[in-house]
Amino acid sequence: MRWQKHQEYYIVRMYQDLVGDWIVTQSWGCNTQDNNACSQTVSTSYQDARLTVREIRKQLKAKGFRHVARKETQLGFEFGHFLKNDAESQLR
């Protein structure tokens, strides 16, 4: 999700990592300046991650940010296939 207020932006993403934890990534900055930052919050459940995103959304609305609809493409990678092949090669 992308949020914007004037030239300031705030991007929130939620995804599951390879070990099953849910990660909420926050990136923020200003389009006219080079100062930006990011942080990550690790959650052990989907529900906890969604609560984190919901709280961030409430805070951004209260600060005057508005949601900007943007289409993002989620790339799918089949890591399980590579991990299986790697494990089999180690057994040989």
Domains and CATH numbers, the chain: 2-74 (3.10.450)
pTM of the predicted model, to two decimals?
A: 0.70
How would you write 10-22 as a 3-class SS string?
A: EEEEEEECCCCCE
Residue pLDDT, tens place only, 22-79: 999 999 999 888 888 999 999 989 999 999 999 999 999 999 999 998 766 666 666 5
Torsions phi, psi for 85 (to 5 deg)? -65, -40
More confident residue, 75 or 89: 75
Neighbours of 11 (CB within 10 A): 18
- The first and second tokens of residue 85, run together, are 């092949």
Please give the Cα distance from 76 to 16 (Å, whole number). Answer: 12
